[in-house]
Structure 1
Amino acid sequence: MNKIFEESNQVALIVNEFGRFDVDSHIMNQTALSVSMLQGCICCDLQDDLVMQLHQLSKQEVQHVVIEATGIANPIELLSACQDPIISNVYEAPLVITIVDSKRLLQNENTEATETLMDDQIRASHRLILNKIDLLNSDEARQEVIQYVSQLAPYSQIDLAIYGEVKESVKHGQATIDKVNLSTSHPHTHYEVLSYDFTHPISHEQLVQFILNMPDSILRMKGYVQFREFPNEIYLLQYSGGLPALESMGDMKLPTTVVLIGEKLDKPALKNKLELLQFG
């Protein structure tokens, strides 16, 4: 996102988090025009708020608006919101870009609800970025992923990426807003969120063990942590598709909070385990 803001100062960003804590806003370019929408999903329960935010942004010197939806959002609902009569004459038809976890896509560990959501996200996209393509162990697996998304989104552009950086385009897109058709039914009742605030530095080794032993019901983990072993640094923690990642943020003053999203979370048990990371 910071790259986008570096290229233009007429871009606004709307960030949506299903929980109460916005991780990304703390590391965004501080000169960027950004709006946080928390504790809900802008594709359903916050959709009216999204329309009003877009209406307010249209009154400012903004040429483009980037909407970073939560990972459990259905893009077709966002397309619907952007066609609201209040703003339809102000904004051009939106472009939906979806980043796909290539490795997770081939795993048969998702629930039926999550599988349906992932397929809907792919179908609704004008451009698909197949990330983590380097983690596929064969050309056959790579072709399987490409074929799978091509069947779901035959008009979409498909790019291959490593660490989010596009390395190769394998199909040019012809998708338009009228070529992405799917149901707009999108219940969130099976997804839950848990936010936890650390008050002390935690053990790096114990965090690794926590992640290795997390239940499959946890789909996403994101936030900031401070380790006893490296007390002078704050780290951005991200977990998705079974793969954790840590990035040093140096000595930035950031809230040490983590957010977990998943299905049927055992919140008391998870809170106890997180508590042990700092006091165990």
Structure 2
Amino acid sequence: MEKAKVLILAGFLGSGKTTLLKQLLIEERRKGSRPAVLMNEIGSVSIDSDAVPGDIPLSELLNGCVCCTLQDQLERQLLLLCQQHAPETIIIEATGVAHPIDILDACLSPDLLPFIKDPLIISVIDSPRWLKRENMSIQSRMLLTEQVKHADLLLWNKTGSVTEAEREQLLEDQNRLNPKVTALFTDYAKVDNSLIRSLSSHEKGDYQTVRIGEQLKVKTFIHTFSGPVSKERFEDWLRNEAPDTIYRMKGYMQFSEKPGTVLMHYSYGLPQYEPEFMKKPLRIVIIGEELDKDELSSQLNRLVE
């Protein structure tokens, strides 16, 4: 049996991992190959799993992080995917607070060696967030640095608004932390799949452990809307009331100004909307540090028209 190649998609919350996943799956299907996906969310609800077509094998690990509390489950789910579906490629989309080396270690389990090969770490980094990382907690900055340091392929994403001087700073940081890495400046995580296929993992150095609940105080909660909200008031809330410690929001909303449901993505102060044509529950997943859940829910409830 041919071994499956493993792609580990790492990167902080809202960096663009799911966008990259969608593109990789399109390319895998175009080639007629057999992909499988393993997704991890620290909350109890996964919104990103909607990005995986129904005919592609998918395993979800919720309510924890595969780099610590769910590491044993990660090994078991990878083994099941291999035994039940014999994929040619397995794409692991880690939660944004996972350490890529812990995921790599799980992939190198002796039980998995007959089934998988060449685990590759692809780190997707939100370039504006990296350049202003001093605004993040010490633990979050540490994790972000580790995601850069141990990448085999580094995507400096969201570089459309980055100046030439800032690009030079990104290159300087990259060469200081991970001089062996293959790196690209991207928008929407666009990368040639043939480049990924040509890469191999390089030797990893020492790493700093960063764990949810121990050092990294990231929490998640789900807010359900009772009806449509004003888009203008929602975006005003994002600008003026939403705490800076919200790293990511994603979910389904309806706006009173226009009929229909949208999939809302939010990271680093910028919301994006995609039309959603299936009936979905009106709820969003909010991830961040030092969040007052009761206060946030009260603020969001006041936006309902």
Q: Is the shorter-chain TM-score for this pair beyond 0.5, marking a shared fold? A: yes
* 1:15 matched to 2:43: no
Q: Which of 275, 279, 285 is matched with 1:253 structurally?
A: 279
1:186 corresponds in structure 2 to 210
Shift of 1:229: 1.5
1:140 corresponds in structure 2 to 165
Shift of 1:198: 1.7
Shift of 1:270: 0.5
The Cα offsets for residues 159-213 of structure 1, whole Å up to 9 and x where unpaired, read as: 111122249xxxxx98735234313x22211111111122311111111012112
SS of residue in 2 equivalent to 1:237: strand
Q: 1:92 is aligned with what amino acid? A: K
Whole-Å separation in 2 of the counterparts to 1:54 and 1:144: 38
1:10–1:64 CA contact under 8 A, matched in 2: yes
Shift of 1:67: 0.3
Whole-Å separation in 1 of the counterparts to 2:244 and 2:126: 16
Shift of 1:114: 0.9
* 1:102 matched to 2:130: no
The Cα offsets for residues 29-67 of structure 1, whole Å up to 9 and x where unpaired, read as: 222211121111111101111100011011123111000
Shift of 1:150: 2.4
1:82–1:93 CA contact under 8 A, matched in 2: no
Q: Which of 190, 196, 201 is matched with 2:228 structurally?
A: 201
2:138 corresponds in structure 1 to 112
Whole-Å separation in 2 of the counterparts to 1:221 and 1:51: 28
Whole-Å separation in 1 of the counterparts to 2:37 and 2:121: 14
1:153 corresponds in structure 2 to 178
1:164 corresponds in structure 2 to 189
1:43 corresponds in structure 2 to 67
SS of residue in 2 equivalent to 1:98: strand
Residues paired across the two proteins, number: 270
1:218–1:262 CA contact under 8 A, matched in 2: yes
Gap regions ≥5 residues in structure 2:
1-20, 193-197
Whole-Å separation in 2 of the counterparts to 1:181 and 1:243: 35
Q: Which of 6, 25, 33 is matched with 2:57 structurally?
A: 33
1:265 corresponds in structure 2 to 291
Gap regions ≥5 residues in structure 1:
168-172
2:37–2:57 CA contact under 8 A, matched in 1: yes
Shift of 1:71: 0.9
2:93 corresponds in structure 1 to 68
1:219 corresponds in structure 2 to 247
TM-score, normalised by the number of residues in structure 1? 0.91
Q: 2:130 is aligned with what amino acid? A: L
1:170 corresponds in structure 2 to none
2:121–2:201 CA contact under 8 A, matched in 1: no
- Percent sequence identity over matched residues? 32
Shift of 1:225: 0.9
Q: 1:31 is aligned with what amino acid? A: D
SS of residue in 2 equivalent to 1:130: strand
Q: 2:256 is aligned with what amino acid? A: R
Specify whether residues 165 and 3 from structure 1 end up closer, same or farther in structure 2 by C-alpha distance, changes over 3 A only. closer
SS of residue in 1 equivalent to 2:147: helix
Whole-Å separation in 2 of the counterparts to 1:175 and 1:110: 32
Whole-Å separation in 2 of the counterparts to 1:230 and 1:160: 35
The structure, 1 or 2, with the larger RCO (C-alpha pairs under 8 Å, 6+ apart) is 2
Q: 2:115 is aligned with what amino acid? A: V
Whole-Å separation in 2 of the counterparts to 1:156 and 1:201: 46
Whole-Å separation in 2 of the counterparts to 1:163 and 1:264: 29
Shift of 1:254: 1.9
Q: 2:228 is aligned with what amino acid? A: P
Q: 1:163 is aligned with what amino acid? A: Y
Q: Which runs of 4+ in 1 moved over 6 A?
A: none
Shift of 1:4: 3.0
Q: 1:113 is aligned with what amino acid? A: Q
Q: 1:216 is aligned with what amino acid? A: D
